[in-house]
């Protein structure tokens, strides 16, 4: 993506978005926020709201930065000097911040990732960044879970991959049925994590026995 867009200097139409449609200009985006403020019943020109359209657009650039990053390229740098390490690698409690595609409100939670390497490993920070790439898009949790696991399987080609995501959806906790304290758990198991119960159980035990409530997508 044009670095000027990310820095907030771009005022014309941006490049095509993920669907191939032309990205609206920053001015149009800010005008849309003004319209929503007016629709909500307030005055976008009053002192407290005068800068809000610009701030909201900047916030959206941060919230949805994942559209500008390639998750496959992120994992392509791997390490082969592993002293033939072939046991499970697990990274747990990865902070997750996303937005529900139905109401564009936050999804907050954590992801746990495990894989069985087949000769090469990836830097652990790349796993956390992979979560961010997909999370910083408009999502449903089931798709987010599958995207992360499928990308690891595609790029690293390990013997197996497991991922569990536990998150609270503010479209449930702050609106609609208003059920605070409710969380959703999804999982995706590939390769030996799906076919070998012992591998799956080792992974679930390592991340804290979340398996009893996981929905294997």
Q: Which residues carry out catalysis?
A: 100-103, 141, 169, 171
- Answer whether 24's CB lies under 8 Å from 14's CB: yes
Q: How many CB atoms lie within 10 A of CB 31?
A: 13
Whether residue 124 contacts residue 115, with contact meaning beta carbons closer than 8 Å, is answered with no
DSSP sequence for the chain = --HHHHHT---S---B-TTSPBPPPHHHHHHHHHHHHHHHT--TTSTTTTTHHHHHHHHHHHHTGGGGS-HHHHH--EE--STT--S-EEEEEEEEEEEETTT--EEEEEEEEEEE-SS-EE-HHHHHHHHHHHHSSEE-HHHHHHHHHHHHHHHH--SEEEEEEEEEEHHHHSSTT--TT--EEEEEEEEHHHH-HHHHHHHHHHHTSGGGG-EE-
């Amino acid at each position: 993506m044009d670095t000027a867009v990310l820095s907030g200097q771009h005022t014309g139409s941006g490049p095509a978005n993920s669907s191939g449609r032309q990205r609206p200009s920053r001015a149009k985006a800010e005008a849309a926020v003004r319209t929503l403020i007016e629709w909500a019943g307030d005055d976008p020109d009053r002192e407290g709201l005068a800068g809000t359209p610009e701030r909201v657009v900047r916030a959206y650039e941060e919230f949805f930065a994942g559209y500008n990053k390639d998750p496959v390229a992120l994992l392509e740098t791997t390490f082969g000097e592993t002293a033939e390490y072939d046991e499970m690698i697990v990274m747990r409690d990865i902070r997750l911040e996303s937005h529900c595609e139905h109401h564009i409100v936050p999804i907050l939670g954590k992801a746990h990732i495990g894989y069985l390497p087949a000769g090469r490993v990836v830097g652990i920070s790349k796993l956390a960044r992979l979560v961010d790439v997909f999370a910083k898009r408009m999502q449903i949790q089931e798709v987010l879970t599958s995207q992360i696991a499928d990308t690891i399987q595609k790029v690293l080609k390990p013997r197996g991959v497991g991922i569990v995501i536990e998150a609270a959806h503010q479209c449930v906790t702050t609106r609609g049925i208003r059920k605070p304290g409710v969380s959703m758990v999804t999982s995706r198991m590939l390769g030996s994590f799906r076919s070998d119960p012992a591998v799956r159980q080792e992974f679930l035990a390592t991340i804290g026995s979340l398996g009893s409530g996981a929905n294997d997508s």
